[in-house]
Structure 1
């Protein structure tokens, strides 16, 4: 037998790469409460388990969606209950530096230096997330390509439209190839064609990432999400596949689609959803 150019090479795999996953869920919360201000409990006793896939976070204004996402991003600290992310406790005052390297986060509004180019800004965010220096150029190029901004990568941020800035925000959130991706209203400012491409990107990311995306656009959830998380008044009132939520609604409920009518029905009677999943 001749061993030459056609021989099979075994790729080097680190011990971490072959070690079994030490956690059942990427995100697991039990009795989670988060207080905003002195009195208001914006997240009030939530039990939630999320794994790989795309999870759509729905709810009216003031429901607690942004507070939940900020808590998962380790920006806010839980007031009560337990929160584990990737098998690590994310509560209390502990140092979450290692955990943050594995999280991608896009807030509703994010700050940036207007004089930076797109590439410079995403490079800077990759550096903050401790992406290895040698890997940063390729990681940045891949991120800007995935959001359709490769041809604008060397333009300054101040020259971009609002929708383009939002796409840069998505690029910085995914530049470190996160295990958990948290997106708060990511489609704000995107035109219909950009939203369609974003849905495709979500589905792509959800194959090996736990994605939680907060949105007011029920149709985005219907098109891209495998799971719906519905919040009302700081509480989880429904979790399940979009088809299950759609089945709750009827012609008497508000909405232009079955999912919108199911959403309206559940908000009218939130107790209906508890204990059904």
Structure 2
């Protein structure tokens, strides 16, 4: 039996778990997200784009780590722009950044427990939720191992465990498969598909094939703007023999980007 999250027991009157309208977000002085319109529902969504496209800045905005500088953004029905109270939204979020911090002397269990406490989970529910999260990422035998002794791949799995401990309604994963070996990536894809049955999952990655296999929907951005959105199969159909890539999905990705750059430069 899994722990029921606060997000699941809250009223869900919103149409879209994630809804951005003309969203603008700055990274320093640079406008990294520029008037982006995006709606995400239940399922696993892959976020693709070249380096500097604004993927990480967008993820940070959705996670309420940085504030939007323009436009409108709602997550789980809550306004996350302006001076809104973000506590309720954050209780329903799970977030794995590219680089996450931790106390090196914490064990895996202590680290995930600490994150559960930060998310204001009910005290009685935390031990069971932590054990389940650790088991789901394949770290049950390392639960009482100190974080500082883990390999890079194990650290990444601990990061995924803390992101899913509260059974989030919106799960944001920034480059989650970095450091995972091929077998672990296969397990991770299966976990994504499982979570995506009930939650809105957004995965930012450079690995197009991970998106093709695990994601029901693909969001492609460039220069902070939405370039294309559709299924992985539809993305594969965009490419042809002359486009760069080792697979149909990669060729579709290259074709969509090339077409966008052609429109912008015209």
TM range (shorter): over 0.9
Task: Find the counterpart in structure 2 of residue 120 from structure 1.
Answer: 110
User: C-alpha separation between the residues in 2 aligned to 1:191 and 1:121?
Assistant: 23
What CA distance in whole angstroms lies between the structure 1 residues aligned with 2:162 and 2:21?
A: 30
Q: 2:56 aligns with which of 66, 74, 94?
A: 66
2:133 to 130, 143, 154: 143
1:31 aligns with 2:27: no
Distance in 2 of aligned mates of 1:93 and 1:56: 29
- Does structure 2 conserve the Cα–Cα contact (< 8 Å) formed by 1:266 and 1:273? no
| 2:166 corresponds to | 176
Output the TM-score relative to the length of structure 2.
0.94
Alignment of 1:82-101 (within 5 A): 82-101=72-91
Matches of 1:216 and 1:98, distance apart in 2? 31
Q: Which residue of 1 aligns with 2:222?
A: 232
Q: Give me the TM-score of the superposition, normalised by structure 1.
A: 0.90
Find 1:131's aligned residue among 121, 135, 155: 121
Q: CA RMSD for the aligned pairs?
A: 1.7
Q: Does the 8 Å contact 1:183/1:214 carry over to 2?
A: yes
In the TM superposition, residue 246 of structure 1 has moved relative to its aligned partner by 0.7
Q: 2:42 corresponds to which residue?
A: 52
Tell me how many residue pairs correspond in the alignment.
258
Secondary structure in structure 2 of the residue aligned to 1:193? helix
Distance 1:17 1:246 in 2: 38
CA distance in 2, matches of 1:22, 1:259: 35
Q: Measure the CA separation in 1 of the matches of 2:197 and 2:174.
A: 20
1:260 aligns with 2:250: yes
Residue 234 (structure 2) pairs with residue 244 (structure 1) = yes
The one of 205, 208, 211 aligned to 1:215: 205
Deviation of 1:95 (Å): 2.2
SS in 1 for 2:58: helix
Q: 1:92, CA displacement in angstroms?
A: 1.1
Alignment check: 8 A CA contact 1:249 1:265 kept: yes
SS at match of 2:117: helix
* In structure 2, distance between residues paired with 1:18 and 1:192: 38
For the residues of structure 1 that align with 2:247 and 2:194, how far apart are their CA atoms?
25
Runs ≥4 in structure 1, deviation > 2 angstroms? 16-19, 271-274
Q: What do the CA deviations read for 1:116-167 (whole angstroms, capped 9, x no partner)?
A: 1110111111111111100000000000000000011011111110000000
Higher Rg: 1
